[in-house]
A and B are shown apart, each in its own frame.
Chain A
Amino acid sequence: MTQKFDSNINFNNIWVIFKREIKTFFDSPMAYIVIVTFLIMTGWFFSSTIFLINQATIEGYLDILSLVFIFFVPAITMRLFAEEYKSGTIEIIATMPVTDNEIILGKYLAGFGIMAIAILLTLFYPVCLLFISSPHVGTIIGSYLGLLFLAMFYISIGIFASSITKNQIIAFLVSFIICFFFFIAGKIIGMLPGTLVSIFEYIGIDSHFNNITKGLINSRDIIYYISASAFFYILTLRMINIRK
């Protein structure tokens, strides 16, 4: 089928799909295992860096968080499409009067919602800092904004990976590998030939993530996250069309 960007997006359909995904996620024990593990890991990284350097700062913690995301986002997104393809329910949802855009957006927002809840729960740690010292509140807010943008990007990768297979393990691994590439791209520029440095620096998350966590929110970084997410969103849309 020729690809169409249907401008008539019915928000009610997105809402119905979003609601079901969220409910299904929180109805299963998987949700609590993933979120609790996430909180334990982040909590441990948070406290260990503070006591290690004996400073009330969250910089090192944020860096590790961007690595932790590489494991947790795929765990949340892997079932979004793969499960539907495996159980055949994709045939139900695809023959409803909803567009592909509405289906993907509903699932995307559900993935983002779950991740946002997990991220906001970790706010507990920096808030604790407020009691024992006086960290820079603007930096904390900026950092968390950065984390949300990062989650947005990783989830678009995760959904794409989920749309290419009916096997959740494959979906997990593919999104893990792609996320890892963007994570590492900015860190390996020292080993690259000169021509590639600026490209890798731009496509890697490092430069953008670091700016935001320093409290610098500029349009260049926001455009990066939005366009990168849109890129994988369009790939997902394409993938769903190809499988028809």
Chain B
Amino acid sequence: MIDVKDLVKCYGTEQAVAGISFSVTPGEIVGFLGPNGAGKTTTLRVLTGYLAPTSGQVNILNYNIEKNPIEVKKRIGYLPESNPLYYEMNVLDYLMFIAELRGIEKENIKNRLSDIIYLCGIKDVLSKNISNLSKGYKQRVGIAQAMIHNPDILIMDEPTSGLDPNQIIEIRDLIKNLRKEKTIILSTHILSEVQATCDRVIIINKGKIVADGKTGEINKFVTGNEELTVKLKGGIENTAEIFLDIHGISELNVKSISHALTEIKIISKQGIDLREKVFNRAVERKLVILEQTRTILSLEDVFRMLTQDDVTHSGKEKVSKKAEKNNDSEI
């Protein structure tokens, strides 16, 4: 449905998108994830035909974006970043303007408008000036704008940014309701958003794709994805030797030793739960376990590992720190 091949976009000499390729199948909800300035917005702008690619191919529904921009644009609904609107217009005039530009036939405009007004819940604000609307309503008007022509593909750049939690949930529900009917690409730097709405996540950093996979599977991109923190009573000198031969341990670090407490961190191989084995080993050696905490790397950790340059090399150290923070907040 959407095919992007070796897409490069430069601003002057600066490469905002440095050769990315991906394809999207019909009905997928794809989350574009990346830190600010990673090239998300630029990629989406190329997909919608707003920016021209410096090199590479973009085909949408078998139309080339450069050769057939009008055909592509007809089939895409787009909510740009920060949701620009003609503030001086009222909501109905604005949607009317968009509907006419979208080339919806005169006899269908009324039906289409009332459908979209119902779907986006903007009936009460139709005669208001857009500049007087709250941010949540502005966002709904923006989404109404993007969907007025019932497009096959919906592209939304940070659709929930700046909204309050209730509004975020409303927008997410709206997106979920469109599932299966439409192909949706949305960008965000909020991880929970991807987990909440998307089937698939593409993580992009410095103009390159660093990970691409199903939302549930994306943490497989990072090795050692389970971490166990164990606190043992007393100062134990050779802890590492005691536990290291347990099957499934990929790494073990002694974090701190004092006369009262020894804390170790164990990173296990994929999908292995070490808690029982560690417990048994401790019992064998007559050690007292005060606390065991298991941390499964969240998407957030994966994201950090993939998008922070220095992390990819000495990743584990940072990840431990991160996981530590997580524990604190969970406790």
Query: Hey, which bits of chain A sit against chain B, CB under 8 A?
Result: 1-2, 12-13, 16-17, 20, 23-24, 27-28, 87-89, 91-99, 241, 244
Count of residues in B whose CB is under 8 Å from the partner chain:
31
Question: Are A16 and B84 within 8 A (Cβ)?
Answer: no
Query: Hey, which bits of chain B sit against chain A, CB under 8 A?
Result: 45, 48-52, 66, 69-71, 73-74, 76, 78, 80-82, 84-89, 93, 97-98, 100-103, 145
8 further A-B contacts with Cβ under 8 Å, apart from A91-B84, A97-B70, A244-B52, are: A13-B101, A17-B101, A24-B86, A88-B81, A92-B85, A95-B50, A95-B78, A97-B102
Chain B residues with Cβ below 8 Å from A94 are 49-50
Chain A residues with Cβ below 8 Å from B48 are 95
- Name 28 interchain pairs, CB-CB below 8 A, sorted by A: A13-B101, A13-B103, A20-B86, A20-B89, A20-B97, A23-B93, A24-B86, A24-B89, A87-B87, A88-B81, A88-B82, A88-B84, A91-B78, A91-B80, A91-B84, A92-B78, A92-B85, A94-B49, A95-B48, A95-B73, A96-B73, A97-B70, A97-B74, A97-B102, A97-B103, A98-B101, A99-B70, A241-B52
How far, in Å, is B201 (CB) from chain A's closest CB?
A: 24
Question: Are B49 and A16 within 8 A (Cβ)?
Answer: no
Bound together, the chains give a CA A93 to CA B49 distance in angstroms of: 11
- Is chain A's binding surface mostly helix, strand, loop or mixed? helix
Question: Are B50 and A244 within 8 A (Cβ)?
Answer: yes
Bound together, the chains give a CA A27 to CA B70 distance in angstroms of: 31
Known contacts being A24-B89, A97-B102, A244-B51, is A92 close to B73, with CB within 8 Å?
A: no
Chain B residues with Cβ below 8 Å from A89 are 84-86
Q: Inter-chain contact count A-B, CB under 8 Å?
A: 71
How far, in Å, is A86 (CB) from chain B's closest CB?
A: 10
Question: Are A92 and B49 within 8 A (Cβ)?
Answer: no
Bound together, the chains give a CA A1 to CA B87 distance in angstroms of: 30
Known contacts being A91-B45, A95-B73, A97-B74, is A28 close to B50, with CB within 8 Å?
A: no
Closest to B79 in A: A92
Bound together, the chains give a CA A95 to CA B84 distance in angstroms of: 13
Question: Are B84 and A92 within 8 A (Cβ)?
Answer: yes
Chain A residues with Cβ below 8 Å from B49 are 94-95
Bound together, the chains give a CA A13 to CA B99 distance in angstroms of: 11
Bound together, the chains give a CA A17 to CA B97 distance in angstroms of: 8
Closest to A87 in B: B84
Known contacts being A27-B88, A28-B88, is A96 close to B50, with CB within 8 Å?
A: no
Question: Are A16 and B101 within 8 A (Cβ)?
Answer: yes
Question: Could you say which of B70, B71, B76 has the most chain A C-beta atoms within 10 Å of its C-beta?
Answer: B70
Chain B residues with Cβ below 8 Å from A241 are 52
Known contacts being A91-B50, A244-B51, is A96 close to B86, with CB within 8 Å?
A: no
Question: Are B84 and A96 within 8 A (Cβ)?
Answer: no
Chain A residues with Cβ below 8 Å from B78 are 91-92, 95
Question: Are A97 and B87 within 8 A (Cβ)?
Answer: no
